[in-house]
Amino acid sequence: MLAAAGFIWIGTGCGLRFGIGSVIVLGVAAAVVVLRQRSVAVLLILAASGALSGMFASARIDATMNAEVPTGPVAFVGVVVEDDGPQRPAVVRPEMLRSEGEWVAWPGPPLAVGPDSDASLVAGQRVRVTGTMRESPGRVRGDPIAGRVTIASTEVIGTVGGPLYAMGNAVRDRVRAVLDLSVRAQALVSGFLIGDTSGLGVRDLDALRRSGLTHFVAVSGSNVALFLAAWWVMTAVFGIGPKRRFVFGVVGLGIFVVATRWESSVLRAAFMAATVLGAAATGISVDTWVAVGVAVCVLLLASGQLAVDVGFQLSVAATIGIMIGAGMFADRRPRALWATLGAATAAQVAVVPVLLWHFGTVPLMSPIANLVSAPLVTGATVSGALAVVSGWGPAVSMSSVLAGAVLAVADVASRWPQLGPPGVAAGVGIAVFIRWPRTRPLAVVGVAVLLAVSTLVPAGPPPVPTVTFLSIGQGDAVLLRDPGGGVALVDGGRDPLILAEALRRHRIGRIDLLVASHGDIDHIGGFAGILGDHAIGRIWLPNHPDLGVELEALVDQATAAGVPVDVVGPGISYRLGTLRIEALGPMRRYVTRNDGSIVLWVEAGTTLLLPGDIEAVAQRELPALRPDILLVPHHGSASTDRTWLAATVGAVAVISVGPNTYGHPAPEIRSVLIAAGAETRVTMEEGDVSLEFDTP
């Protein structure tokens, strides 16, 4: 059955990539070999069936992405298919559109609606939405959408989906009613129970990923088993024979799938459980290998896009690894300890190719983190389930304490080494050497030294003052470091996870000076949560009336933490070891945030100008300057005054930019830099750009 699942998976991938051509090729191949190798022909037919599923899935995605939607003010009625959440839009499938004062049928493509802090849209609701729509093909949590709606108002006018939807939503509502999702530990318990991690911050989620513990909130087999056990206790009054167990089990699985919002890992576990229950009801013996094969076959044929879904790939790979690893150390004692370690190790090995393909790294010490966390997660899940059912306060407290311990493990383990492809290859080589008695001691010593160097020995400061323009996508983040250990960070890009990874890459702990040049999200979005991860000495903000909600939140957090916050203007300076950092602007109050950016002059022999996103108006009001290194304003936008740029740029010009739809950097700006003879460095092309100051 696993072979069949494998061929269907390969065929589905071909269908997604090559469409009808792959169906024809596989079908013809099956017809050619059917008379000589029937078993091979069957596998090829299964692959062709998978290709057909993949082709249809690709067609559905393309139809959504290319669908036309009305732009501007709209009013429509639709069904919510994905919940909204904090800073997360809902997905709504339209049914009717108000056009010229009348409601007309409109089975439109899925749309992203919101997010709206005053609305809580839940899957299964029929809602009336008014707002402003724009074309914006893309994805929300993996689902394709054709447009986005900024909400003016929403009204729930009914529900769809029948009893299963109602009961599944009731389970989800009960979890949210008992647990306080604003408390990190209880938000994690919600993740253990129903996979809802909306209450967790991005940094907690990143720590779980980097420590190899994400699978605990990707609800799967153990959660399904726990739910079914509780479900059967409640339905035992109706009898517990195999056939009734199957019927009630399928109903219970449907409720749980709705409650967990049809996570791919839950679908896999639910279909495995349904296969086992169905076989028992008919008197057929089915082992877990057959069950996982049947689940994969059915799901891929029903929904071809699962073939490229990372959650589904990880779930299947981890399940197979656990099934292999559970008996790996069967002869060792204590049995529970070694069984857990074997399962965690095998699961980690099984998911390595998937992690490398999608994320580029794998957590080296994940088996140990899993070994420590597994009993904590089990206790938190059981006590959390008891709390949800009973509302008993001590059970809530117990689950919260245990989940808090898991977060602590994740926080520590996320700082352990992450292996890329070379590291994984080295690990395989070490494993081979360990098998040879003569080289085993050297391999063990090598591993110990590698771990000690990578985790215990901190990276020292650079030998000379250094500026690094971090590659953080479309945005700015500039790191200044002094040989004495001083660190300043000017802006943080858009994504806090990308910034956190960049700071880990450069082994940054304390940040002496944090500068937010202005309130645009591509400069300060990465600062979310930074006060909790790093010791901050001082924060500089621009003298502008419109800071934006993100910067205002940063100010509130800094005030609560006792971190000094300065509103800076021309003449204010800061000494970072041998580096002198002086604010040249904003020169006055400007209308736009961009012109109101903090402009910094940095000097240590070599001179550096960091102008934020200032445009022509503010550029012309700066004093005449010619720094050795210039960060080109506004990511190379055409809003820069070309005369000012030609007169200002010195030996090196750096453009901090990522993939974008704005046309950055503008060709005319690059032409000015070339004509001026400046060496142009672009983060999108090079990654991090590091330059040394030539101190006197």
Shared domain for 411 and 430, answered yes or no, is: no
Q: Which residue range forms the structural domain that includes residue 141?
A: 72-160
Question: Residue 313 falls within a domain, yes or no?
Answer: no
| pLDDT for residue 435 | 61
- The full DSSP string for 525-554 is GGGTTHHHHS-EEEEEEES-S---HHHHHH
CA 566, CA 552: separation in Å to the nearest integer?
13
CA 380, CA 398: separation in Å to the nearest integer?
7
- In this structure, of 102-111, 223-232, 381-390, the range with the lowest mean pLDDT score is 223-232
Shared domain for 125 and 101, answered yes or no, is: yes
CA 181, CA 171: separation in Å to the nearest integer?
15
Share of the chain above pLDDT 90, in %: 41
CA 305, CA 109: separation in Å to the nearest integer?
17
Q: Which residue has the higher pLDDT, 143 or 636?
A: 636
Question: Residue 473 falls within a domain, yes or no?
Answer: yes
Shared domain for 575 and 677, answered yes or no, is: yes
Question: Residue 515 falls within a domain, yes or no?
Answer: yes
**What number is the average pLDDT over the span 469-497?**
94
Q: How confident is the model at residue 195 (pLDDT cuts 50, 70, 90)?
A: confident
- In this structure, of 236-240, 286-290, 321-325, the range with the lowest mean pLDDT score is 236-240
Shared domain for 587 and 520, answered yes or no, is: yes
Question: Residue 144 falls within a domain, yes or no?
Answer: yes
| pLDDT for residue 52 | 92
**Does the pLDDT at position 486 exceed 90?**
yes
Question: Residue 329 falls within a domain, yes or no?
Answer: no
First-last CA distance in the chain: 72
Which of 159-168, 351-360, 520-529, 575-584 holds the top average pLDDT? 575-584
Q: Which residue has the higher pLDDT, 669 or 213?
A: 669
Shared domain for 569 and 446, answered yes or no, is: no
Shared domain for 652 and 524, answered yes or no, is: yes
- In this structure, of 388-402, 537-551, 565-579, 621-635, the range with the lowest mean pLDDT score is 537-551
| pLDDT for residue 639 | 93
**Does the pLDDT at position 370 exceed 90?**
no
Coil vs helix vs strand at 85: strand
Q: How many CA atoms lie within 13 A of 264 on its CB side?
A: 24
Share of the chain above pLDDT 70, in %: 91
Question: Residue 322 falls within a domain, yes or no?
Answer: no
> Does residue 454 contact residue 417 with C-beta atoms inside 8 Å?
yes
Q: Which residue has the higher pLDDT, 540 or 249?
A: 540
**What number is the average pLDDT over the span 24-50?**
81
Question: Residue 317 falls within a domain, yes or no?
Answer: no
**What number is the average pLDDT over the span 96-110?**
91
Q: Structural domain tally of the chain?
A: 5
**Does the pLDDT at position 90 exceed 80?**
yes
Shared domain for 242 and 281, answered yes or no, is: yes
Coil vs helix vs strand at 317: helix
CA 624, CA 622: separation in Å to the nearest integer?
6
Shared domain for 431 and 474, answered yes or no, is: no
Shared domain for 156 and 171, answered yes or no, is: no
**Does the pLDDT at position 236 exceed 90?**
no
Domain boundary among 160, 175, 199: 160
Shared domain for 114 and 188, answered yes or no, is: no
**What number is the average pLDDT over the span 495-504?**
88
41-49 long-range contacts (CB < 8 A, ≥24 apart) are: 43/3, 43/4, 43/7, 44/7, 46/4, 46/7, 46/8, 46/11, 46/297, 47/7, 47/8, 47/10, 47/11, 47/14, 48/11, 48/23, 49/8, 49/11, 49/301
Shared domain for 126 and 46, answered yes or no, is: no
| pLDDT for residue 238 | 62
| pLDDT for residue 445 | 64
**Does the pLDDT at position 355 exceed 60?**
yes
Domain boundary among 17, 32, 65: 65
Q: Which residue has the higher pLDDT, 514 or 441?
A: 514
Domain boundary among 137, 160, 183: 160
**Does the pLDDT at position 289 exceed 70?**
yes
**What number is the average pLDDT over the span 317-344?**
75
Q: Which residue has the higher pLDDT, 35 or 144?
A: 144
**Does the pLDDT at position 342 exceed 50?**
yes
Relative to beta strand 536-542, strand 565-568 is parallel
**CATH number where 152 lies:** 2.40.50.140
Shared domain for 412 and 426, answered yes or no, is: no
Question: Residue 356 falls within a domain, yes or no?
Answer: no
CA 509, CA 453: separation in Å to the nearest integer?
17
**CATH number where 654 lies:** 3.60.15.10
Q: How confident is the model at residue 441 (pLDDT cuts 50, 70, 90)?
A: low
